[in-house]
Structure 1
Amino acid sequence: MTDPTDSRSAFGATSDAIPQRSNDEILRLRKQLLNPTLSVAYQQPLKMVRGEGVWLYDQHGQAYMDMVNNVCHVGHCHPRVVRSGQAQMAQLNTNTRYLHDNIVEYALRLTATLPEPLSVVFLTNSGTEANDLALRLAHAHTQAQGVIVVDHAYHGHSPSMIELSPYKFNGKGGAGQRPHIGVVAMPDTYRGIFPDTPDAGRLYGQLLPSAMASLRQRHIATAAFYCESLLGCGGQIVLPEGYLAEAYAAVRAAGGVCLADEVQVGFGRAGEHFWAFECQGVVPDIVTMGKPIGNGHPMGAVVTTPEIAASFVSGMEYFNTFAGNPVSCAIALAVLDVIADEQLQENARRVGDFLIAGLRQLQQQYDGIGDVRGRGLFIGVELMQGRTPDPQKAKAVVEAMKARHVLLSTEGPDDNVLKIKPPMVFSRANAEEFLDKLDQVLHGS
């Protein structure tokens, strides 16, 4: 009989002595044992073993500046967040059938950051779960099935969210657009259908009525409009002024509800505002959250109005085994504390403005930079040859920056946009180092 105090598992390994394998061996085992559709970053993959603040460290102790991790929102392994999770895990972790202070305290603190009437919280385990649950809320409230989405959007990996994500259903292996989905053009003022147009927000918003009319021709009423408050997979696009106001008015006139997907961009990343939808001067009917909410801990949330929440009360209970557990809520509370106490929203505004200004200076020096855009610490740099997207250049820049120990990635329909969304503790000194190294790379290319 196995001694329960023995740290060795039934298979002979110890829980605290995981074998340290070479990169090649890990890659071989991944191919053999893991999801075969799962890719790795970079031509020569990195093995990361430690994180701190804006830095990731490989097995050799080499530090890499993380410019793409909007999950570890307040910095990798923030001590305050780690301590909160450890302390609660050592005391209790269980489901929400029992009363506990953490979940109600978190609901109070979270809703205090949002405008009225967004005041009812549903907790989940991820952004995908949040967007999936939000769809159920929209269906229940409107008794309709149609959904309008923005082209190249990504809202999650569940079956229902793949149907709402042109990034997936129109991409490799995708099954195409379903009849109950309407797609409107990305409100891209650089390369979109209304480029360099002062009234672009209103013009892009006016595309929604025709999309909803197409659904009605198929006898499908509109339940919801899903839109990221800043477009991520679309290429780090900032919505033009007035876009959401125009779009929301059209959707509500048709009986639908308006959802702001803040999974990537919430919790102060936009700098000027805590929630990126506030940059548009609107109040959505539903807000979804994920990624930064737990600083890497798997957690998500939906916040909606009492009216929509009441429509969900049908006799069928919504219970989620892990969502809202005391550990998750303790961690999420610590994240809110750190954002406030370290003034990270203001840091995002100040450092983001400096970074965008520096990138625009590089844009004046190098013809290959077609556009620089962003809010706070959510920034895109579009690489072009004239007016033609240059994904090869973008990929080469990413690899060259990795060689200089800076981690970047690419995004956008043509995969030519450098995406910049570092942890919120990213400093001006970090920005100066990044700009200097990017200048070196662009000068040498």
Structure 2
Amino acid sequence: MTSDTSLLERRKVLGTAYRLFYEEPVHLVRGEGVWLEDNDGKKYLDMYNNVPVVGHANPVVVQAMTKQASILNTHTRYLHENVVAYAEQLLALFPSELNRAVFTCTGSEANDLALRIAHEVTGRRGVIVTQNAYHGVTSELADMSPSLRPVAEHVEVVPAPTCLSGTPAEIAASFAAHVDEAAQRLAAKGFPVCALMVDTVFASDGLYIPSQGVLAAAAQAVRKHGGLFIADEVQGGFARVGGNWWAFQQDDVIPDMVTLGKPMGNGHPIGAVVVREQWLHDFGLRCRYFNTFGGNTVSAAVGLAVLQELHTLNATEHVQEVGDYLGQQLHALVSEHEEVQAVRGGGLYWSIALQDNKLHTASELAVLLVNGLRQEGILVGTCGQSNQALKIRPPLVFCKEHVAHFMEVLQQQLQGVKA
């Protein structure tokens, strides 16, 4: 088997834009459920990967993919039962107002298409996003992802709810006021707002779950200026926050468009825009959209299998139950460790916001903890504007039995960073 040293040397062919996790990179060779295994046979509890929602190498999904691939794989310009059935079953999980689906290959493509629709139907270009947002890798999306680079002239940035203080109602009102002011700034620059795009769990900004009125207030604010509300559910969708299928359902709000990606195919590339019929109809009158592999027959078969597995898991209730149990353990850390500033989250998506101790800054602590956990066989990530928070988002097949193991190792690492 290829050694890590040799593989790292050969990896230069990929260029400098690629990044690896951890000071000692992990060389993974297989996965099953919530577990990953490296080339030395060491197992890791996966507390990071939200893409394989129904578990790594899920046999039902793999069988559906291989079976359809052995029969037919074509684009959506031909009739096929899989594609229509998947659209029907996916839309059945949404409010009735969101009644049309357009398939893509990735979440980035979905967000890019949602912006195209918004531009066309409003005749405007201005966009509002949060201060550390990440919405995708296309040129258009990089221009409105401040976590990647400075935003374009037609984009305005607002503070995320994680940076606001007060009661939940005060935070919602403050966030809406910032959206209102951003829309006014865009109009003054000659770029009237066409859309507010929000990651419905504010993942890159440090996590804000539950929304507690923030999403509904923001949607109302942007609509007052003639803009649309686009809910980016690539991170928060498919029961990730528990209780509901979609994170926007935390609030009494129905978006104009919802974008989906990564978890749809459990690792197979598929994304979608779920949209109100009126907007898609208006868009279709002005231009057409075609994506060769978006919604192909194999992707649709995989998507159907993922939905089947989520229903079998009873995902909305399972995630709520396990997430509540995990959350109780995590919240206790605030009073136990001075390094833990706050715990935010819900379902199976959590962040542990850190603060400086006598030896390290919060960002340094995050690096120490992430790498320490990796050495002990647990994989987590970071989030927040300074990467000062731990990010926890395991596959949804994560169970209560895994919580005790994770918490034991996390407690040991938190004790270690005091020394």
When normalised by structure 2's length, the TM-score is 0.96
What's the counterpart of residue 381 of structure 2? 409
Aligned counterparts of 2:48 and 2:99: Cα–Cα separation in 1:
31
2:223 match = 252
1:187 aligns with 2:161: yes
Gaps of 5+ in 2: none
Query: Max radius of gyration: which structure?
Result: 1
**2:213 counterpart of 1:242:** yes
Amino acid at match of 1:24: T
2:414 paired residue number: 442
1:236, distance to aligned residue in structure 2 (A) = 2.2
Corresponding position of 1:199:
170
Partner of 1:67: 47
SS in 1 for 2:332: helix
State percent identity of aligned pairs.
38
| C-alpha contact (below 8 Å) 1:194/1:204 kept by paired residues | no
How far 1:245 moved relative to its partner?
1.6
Structure 2 equivalent of residue 276 of structure 1: 247
Q: For residue 91 of structure 1, give the secondary structure of its aligned residue in structure 2.
A: coil
User: Which position in structure 2 is the counterpart of 1:155?
Assistant: 135
| Match status 1:41 vs 2:21 | yes
Aligned letter for 2:96?
Answer: E
Letter aligned with residue 139 of structure 1:
H
Match of 2:65 among 77, 85, 88: 85
The answer (yes or no) to whether the contact 1:271–1:375 under 8 Å persists in 2 is: yes
Equivalent position amino acid for 2:157 in 1: V
1:264 aligned onto 2:235? yes
Q: Offset at 1:408?
A: 1.0
Task: Find out whether 1:418 has 2:399 as its counterpart.
Answer: no
Identify unmatched segments of 5+ residues in structure 1: 1-19, 170-175
Deviates more, 1:196-205 or 1:85-94: 196-205
Q: 2:2 aligns with which of 10, 17, 21?
A: 21
1:162–1:168 contact (8 Å) kept in structure 2: yes
Map of 1:430 onto structure 2: 402
What code does the residue aligned with 1:57 have? E
Partner Cα distance (1:435, 1:329) in 2: 38
Counterpart-to-counterpart distance in 2, 1:239 and 1:324: 31
Deviation at 1:404, TM superposition (A): 1.0
Q: Distance in 2 between matches of 1:203 and 1:319?
A: 40
1:343 to 296, 311, 314: 314
CA shift for structure 1 position 197: 6.2
2:10 is aligned with what amino acid? Answer: L
| Cα displacement string for residues 249-304 of structure 1 (whole angstroms, at most 9, x for unaligned residues) | 12111111100000011000110211000002210000000010000001100010
Are residues 1:107 and 2:73 paired? no
1:35, distance to aligned residue in structure 2 (A): 3.0
Look up the SS of the partner of 2:355 in the other structure.
strand
Equivalent position amino acid for 2:365 in 1: K
The residue type equivalent to 1:41 in the other structure is: F
- The list of structure 1 runs, each at least 4 consecutive aligned residues, that deviate by more than 4 angstroms after superposition, is 195-198, 386-389
Give the letter aligned to residue 2 of structure 2.
Answer: R
Give 1:310's match in structure 2, choosing from 278, 281, 284. Answer: 281
In the other structure, the counterpart of 2:11 is: 30
Distance 1:97 1:274 in 2: 30
